[in-house]
Structure 1
């Protein structure tokens, strides 16, 4: 009861005394070894604070001298350096500069390289954008050079670039006196063509670049279409003679890289080249095959390259793997079409013997399968699958071993 009558002031003083007894007497703080620099404004602020927090004159002075505004859209520190000022020192408008023609070409080429299947869906947008950019002779020359460099620097990309060049040759509107897109592209290819004799004897990097050019020119010959009047679009005949000269240059210096490039080019364009030469009454392909046979007698090329050349000669002797005796699908029979049974399914008899529609006893063996299905009508579900063998049931180990042995024996008989 006595404690309840004690005044609050005495209790607070007792609490303070108890805290001082527990923590000990307070000691003065040590001065810091170094002190931060004091600006004039902070010094004035400290002096104003020391003189009293209620000094209205100091507050009014700060408000009047302040450059801050409550209506500002954003707060920017005084020491902030604008990235836009550093990058766009030419006082260009906007945060981002307009992409250049080189940037756009690099962008869509990378996209087509990673997603070649999007060619048909993206080519219209690419063409429209290029037409808006290519409005001078200089930009058209730049576009041709950019695409040519991409076609010879990216591996396994010549086919897509050749399709791109064919499309642009028909849809780039700007056509100066120096030539349209196709003409300028062929002029650029001709420049590299004139260096063929030096390129086949150059260093590895030079030859590698030249081989990429050769394969690109082959794809260009296959895909580039030239319209002349009311006739159907045809190939660029100017490339026909160029490809022959390039092959002769490669065979004239029969090192492995040059021979491999020649083999790739002939596998790509050999059938088309031979058909075109035969239509003109020329025997250029026979001359090329004779050169290959002469090289095969030489021991300088490696065994792998020699094998590639031999297979190429065999491919040419078999009409480049083409079958011209196949009849029209409506008139095809097993007697006049060697591909008649190509897509027919393969069936198996009760003892595992395979047979197809080409088998003379096909009807009898197929009827046996139908008879087995009639004897076990519930053994097959709606999709024709064996209902006795569900995915949830496990096969007995002995049955599984016998089944594997049966499959191996069936494969062995099939190979014989």
Structure 2
């Protein structure tokens, strides 16, 4: 790629003259005006090159003023890395973690991987037990978990499970209340603001609705000891949820109604079962209010449709399957879902039919009688295949395949 740019030479002597001129160092460079002092080692090198008497190494060591015991030399203005890391006076490589950091860490883990709750909760509880040793720290823990459970989308369920586990396993129990009692006090503080929050701006309403749904999850998951010593749900939350729904329906705009629908879909069946056991018509009263809202409230069409679907859901026992004893007595006449999971068949003319069809037996027998419905199969090398199946192509298929290959080759050559 590169051309030979060496000039042609007529004789060896001429070549020698060229080499001497090309590598001639010329006159020595001028010394700088202020040159550094020449050390003993530099003087030794200088003398060895100039041919003067050499200075022996023993004399260099003898006359040296260097000492191995001299203090470490640090240039002025130098800031060490450790000074930057530990400028706050803390000891250790990293700043000390706080309870806030730990709560955010395990909440982040459980948010991204909710299925790891069972494997992580024991470690979380043990760490918190070693951390929470005063009433103030316990109150801080309650506040942190409450804020995370009501501010992170779709974390209310996991947050309620955390609260239930910690209420049973946090060892510290100050005179002013244990974890569960402090949590309920915190929820009651928000409950007192319901009348203002339901009519506030959108951001305040959004926070209030998150609180309502978290309280519903807490009612379903928080276990407390009943009077007979068994574990049951917190009755104090039952009355609170009813009051919250009445508050939402008292100001029936779209966000409040949507929140009420979500709450009833979440725990409406459990609430009604509890009220029925205590012979209270509370759910019927709520459904009546929903019907009044559908007729009178100035809500959007979509929200009105959601309310109607909710009333329909409640009329079907909240979509729950009947008990096993009822299933055994179910017949096509008394259970509209009797044939729900039955397969669909097709007649020769393509008409679909199921087990609910009156002519099901006759049509199904016709299918079984068709000779080509279940083709004969045979096993070959441990696998099932159709008998008489040929691996080779017929002549027309072979000719078409060869033509395709030739056309493909011709296109590639172009």
Normalising by structure 2, report the TM-score: 0.75
The question of whether the paired residues in 2 share the 8 Å contact of 1:225 and 1:236 is answered with yes
Find 1:279's aligned residue among 277, 280, 287: 277
Match of 1:65 in 2: 67
State the alpha-carbon separation in 2 of the partners of residues 351 and 68 from structure 1: 105
The question of whether the paired residues in 1 share the 8 Å contact of 2:172 and 2:178 is answered with yes
Tell me if 1:224 matches 2:222: yes
Cα displacement (A) at 1:349:
4.1
State the alpha-carbon separation in 2 of the partners of residues 278 and 368 from structure 1: 51
Find 2:317's aligned residue among 316, 319, 322: 319
The question of whether the paired residues in 2 share the 8 Å contact of 1:200 and 1:210 is answered with yes
State the alpha-carbon separation in 2 of the partners of residues 34 and 281 from structure 1: 109
Aligned CA RMSD, in angstroms, stands at 4.1
* CA deviation profile, 1:93-127 (whole Å, cap 9, x unmatched): 43234432211111111111111111122222212
* CA deviation profile, 1:57-92 (whole Å, cap 9, x unmatched): 4466669435799xxxxx999787444432334654
State the alpha-carbon separation in 1 of the partners of residues 69 and 15 from structure 2: 49
Where do residues 52-201 of structure 1 align in structure 2 (5 Å cutoff)?
A: 54=55, 56=57, 57-58=59-60, 64-65=66-67, 81-89=79-87, 92-201=90-199
Cα displacement (A) at 1:267:
1.5
Any stretches of 5+ residues in structure 1 without a counterpart?
Answer: 1-12, 70-74, 397-416
Cα displacement (A) at 1:297:
3.2
Describe the SS at the equivalent of 1:296: helix
Describe the SS at the equivalent of 1:300: coil
Q: 1:19 to 1:149 in 2, by over 3 A?
A: same
State the alpha-carbon separation in 2 of the partners of residues 63 and 330 from structure 1: 105
Cα displacement (A) at 1:152:
1.0
The question of whether the paired residues in 2 share the 8 Å contact of 1:325 and 1:337 is answered with no
The question of whether the paired residues in 2 share the 8 Å contact of 1:214 and 1:246 is answered with yes
Q: 1:359 to 1:105 in 2, by over 3 A?
A: same
Q: 1:383 to 1:76 in 2, by over 3 A?
A: farther
Match of 2:405 in 1: none
Match of 1:19 in 2: 19
Match of 2:244 in 1: 246
State the alpha-carbon separation in 2 of the partners of residues 235 and 359 from structure 1: 46
Describe the SS at the equivalent of 1:234: strand
Cα displacement (A) at 1:324:
3.5
The question of whether the paired residues in 2 share the 8 Å contact of 1:196 and 1:246 is answered with yes
Normalising by structure 1, report the TM-score: 0.74
Any stretches of 5+ residues in structure 2 without a counterpart?
Answer: 1-12, 49-53, 397-414
